[in-house]
Amino acid sequence: MNTHHAFPHPLGATLTPDGCNFSVHHSSSFPLSLIIFNDDGTYNEHPFTEEYGSIKYTFIDNITKDTAYGFKIIQDKKALLLLDPYAKALKNTPHYDVPYTAEQSWVLAQSLVVDDTFDWQETPKPMISRSETILLETHVKGFTLLNPKVDTKVRGTYLGLADPANIAHLKHQGITSIQLLPVAACMHEPHLLEMNMVNYWGYNPISFMAPDPRYARNDAVTELKTAIRELHKNNIEVILDVVYNHTAEGGDGGVTFNLKGLDQDYYLHHHGKYTNYTGCGNTLDITHQPSLNLVMDTLRYWVEQYHIDGFRFDLAATLGREYDQFNPNNAFFKAVAQDPILQKVKLIAEPWDIGPNGYQVGQFPDGWNECSDKFRDTTKSFWRGEQNYLKSMATRLMGSRDLVSASRWPHKLPVNYVSYHDGFTLQDLVSYKERHNLANGEENRDGHGDNRSDNYGVEGPTDNPRVIALREKQKRNMVTTLLFSFGIPHLLAADACSHTQQGNNNAYCQDSDISWVNWDLDETALEFKRWLSDMIQARQTHMVPVINAFSGTSRSKQKVAWYTPEGSNMTHADWHGAESLCLHLNIYDGTKELLILINQSNIPTRFELPKPKQHSRWSLVCNTQHTQVTSKHAVVDYSLSPLSIAIFNAE
């Protein structure tokens, strides 16, 4: 042991040529010591020789990469091993037999010393602009496990993401950014362990820095970095879904993995009990300095050491909490805004939690893009045929400027979506009226009740060609609305393959073919996959220039007009009860123009088209009645089929 080389920052295990520094925040009453494991499973116990405020630290000579370690406390007269909150890798995949015991902790809580050195081969980060970003949400395992084109040795792993077949699929679809469901090590909830199930989605973190060993063949750290490097080589960004609102330690009476044993104030408390604004038993208290440090340090680590391009924050309203109130000017947002590392990455908020004042859509600071549940609900309700949604649909098409001014675009463009991991897939939105979650073991009580879905006459799969055709058109309607609205489109990876979760809208515990993307596509699914690829390209060609022109200070030069099908300007009265309209977007008085025709009615509607400013005719980009993206021309009028949307371009 050499105290001369010990240092308090950074926290965690920091490898040097001489050994390793171990540092941890500790303010609980439980005595703390360092445990270093030998290769044969025996261990040595070391005291922390130095203190700096609440930080305990020491330096151990001759420690090398992959050395296992942990922090020992005495709790209830038992020796409990704690997992380092700053652990960069775990020796074992997190799992235990309920109830959790001190004896089990000595296996579960072993962290590994990591050498951060990695050959990035001078690969630049893609740096995709927000207006060009196409987000694809996916699960590491479920995305590639059943893909027959992916090498069998890497299916369902980090390396599977970098497989040439997977990258070819992403590029062909036009995806710019994949958003990975949580890859930070996750612990399964006790009730799932008792049912021999898992938290498949990963929203129950046991460690904020360590990639989950579940998705690695051998070395999670190196394999995840390799996947990111190869995706970057192909100009594809990697966004991480991160969970900083709670941890896997649960609430009152829950287990102790690390934070509870080190400092009770990591979590919010009300009257001596854990505050549960997350539905997971506890709520991380970001007003507590060590908690804020932990979040900020881990975010920077992902960016600096994994070259992550951005983050999607689960229940992000929690991060802005000052107990019962949300404050967009709180310390966390200020810390992120001034951080030279985090200033450069995308920040996406799920702008709510379940606590008081938890719904904060539109309230996040500049630099944060927010998921728009209003876009989701309006789009689904409108195309399902619900009346009096036309005005709301127009608002969502134009980027929800009732929530965020276009003066704050593109850095505040909403993240628009129809399907997300929590809810029905796109295929199930048009195939099921009711959720079917019995496989989750909660008697179908879990999951959203308000799905705004329809089955069009048959619940679930059908061979009826009329029903299939209507379902496919409704899928095209919702995706076209998504891609030709102002915002950042968010797609679910399973939707490109028309994947069904068999009506399960809360598949968080389904590590099964319910969640694994089915790549065995029939002709209908292949047709939709081709159509989606063409539509994403059409968005990049036709919609992105419009978004850029309508953003920031240049927006005042652009023109928006709303027309009735007869070609007259929409009046106040027209907005009530109408089922069809025409949106005319005009850049720089005719440099580029778009028309969006919408017919929600059950009969064909003939539209009188406005004359282009500088061109003789309009060119049809798509009509959702058809399965091809086209370039046909129209002159002065156009007949749009029932329940359809058409896009025209002139430039």
For residues 506 and 197, is the Cβ–Cβ distance under 8 A? Answer: no
The Cα 158–Cα 180 span in angstroms is 10
Burial of residue 446 (number of CB atoms within 10 Å: 0-12, 13-18, 19+): middle
Per-residue tokens: 172: 């062909």
Per-residue tokens: 68: 């296992």
Active site residue 314: yes
Tokens 């073919």: give the residue.
513
Active site residue 350: yes
Q: Which of 37, 88, 49, 357 is nearest to 210 (CA)?
A: 88
* Cα torsion 440, 445, 450, 452: sign: positive
The phi-psi region of residue 206 (left if phi > 0; otherwise alpha if psi is between -120 and 50; otherwise beta) is alpha
DSSP string for residues in 101-138: -HHHHHHHT-EE--------TTPPP----TTT--EEEE
DSSP helix, strand, coil percent of the chain (3-state; round to 5): 30, 20, 50
The Cα 175–Cα 149 span in angstroms is 18
Dihedral (Cα; 336, 338, 342, 344), 10-degree rounding? 130
Partner residues linked to 205 by β-bridges: 186
For residues 396 and 425, is the Cβ–Cβ distance under 8 A? Answer: no
Per-residue tokens: 469: 């055709």
Q: Say whether 271 sits in a helix, a strand or coil.
A: coil
For residues 583 and 616, is the Cβ–Cβ distance under 8 A? Answer: no
Q: Are strands 68-75 and 111-112 parallel, antiparallel or unpaired?
A: antiparallel
Per-residue tokens: 34: 């360092």
The Cα 591–Cα 98 span in angstroms is 66
The Cα 293–Cα 286 span in angstroms is 9
Return the beta strands (E) in 32-77 as ranges.
32-37, 43-46, 50-52, 55-61, 68-75
Catalytic residue among 350, 472, 495, 579: 350
In this structure, the number of other CB atoms found within 10 A of the CB of residue 602 comes to: 9
First-residue to last-residue Cα distance in the chain:
72
Q: Which of 185, 174, 154 is nearest to 86 (CA)?
A: 185
Per-residue tokens: 264: 């009770």
Distances (CA, A) of 357 to 243, 281, 400: 20, 18, 21
The Cα 50–Cα 27 span in angstroms is 14
The Cα 266–Cα 80 span in angstroms is 19
The Cα 289–Cα 569 span in angstroms is 56
Per-residue tokens: 495: 């939707």
Catalytic residue among 84, 137, 189, 314: 314
> Radius of gyration (Cα) for the chain, nearest Å?
26
The Cα 477–Cα 379 span in angstroms is 9
- The residue type of 217 is R
Contacts of 121 by beta carbon, 8 Å cutoff, 6+ apart: 229, 233
Residues annotated as catalytic (active site), given as ranges? 314, 350
